[in-house]
Amino acid sequence: MIVTFARRAVLAFAIAMPGMLVATAPAAAATGAETYVQTNVTRGLAILNNKSISVEQRRTQFETFLLGLTDMKRIANFTLGQYKRTASPQELEQFAAAFQNYATAVYQSYFVKYSGQTLHVTGSQERAPGDTIVQTQMIDPNDHSGNQPLEVDFRVLSDGGKYVVIDFSVAGIWLAIEERDQFSSFLGQNNGSIPTLVKHLGDLAKTYR
């Protein structure tokens, strides 16, 4: 179900930009993509920890920050999979808006669950020129179990020096791909109706708000 996936999506983004995460300094030889990820963790931290403004103001600022970090429309189109080819321009616009509203509501509602944990950039791999996987770990300072920290990776594209995040991976699960599978399943059960999916995402967003 999409609700189940929402929890996975929240985990990824809450790890990426949590309200209470402690940002660690990037390595001395960090690549541009690594620095981009680490720097934006710090920016997200500053927004969500700013208690001098209201919750609503923090929510608005975080949403603006989030939309500047990710290519939300590109991710939304990807998650439609094969249904993008048959969707009308109007349906694509409606879905992109619903997806953006849904994603930001879900991500913001869960960030507090990761209070006190640290996101640490451990390295990166270049898939192709301008296409980099930045590898990080979520470290819980209160976890003395000896278990390996949770791995969280980011796929970052660079176009003319401008970086943008297009996907997240938590413990090996790439979330945009997971969303595409979940949405395709939902659409397959609802006669490929994008308006039905739009409504469903709207209902979910209200729940998480």
Spatial strand order of the sheet with 118-128 comes to: 22-23, 118-128, 131-139, 150-159, 162-170, 173-174
**What pLDDT shows up at residue 24?**
41
Domain residue limits, the chain: 2-208
pLDDT band at residue 106 using 50, 70 and 90 as cut-offs = confident
Query: CA nearest 135: which of 184, 93, 96, 168?
Result: 168
Summarised one tens digit per residue, pLDDT across range 40-83 is: 877 776 777 788 989 888 888 888 888 888 899 999 999 999 99
Q: pTM for the whole thing?
A: 0.76
The pLDDT, as a whole number, for residue 161 is: 78
* CB-CB contact of 48 with 18 (8 Å): yes
Q: Are 102 and 204 in contact (CB under 8 A)?
A: yes
> For residues 23 and 19, what is the distance between their CA atoms, to the nearest angstrom?
11
List pLDDT tens digits, range 27-36.
445 789 999 9
What is the fold, at CATH topology level, of the domain defined by 2-208?
Nuclear Transport Factor 2; Chain: A, (3.10.450)
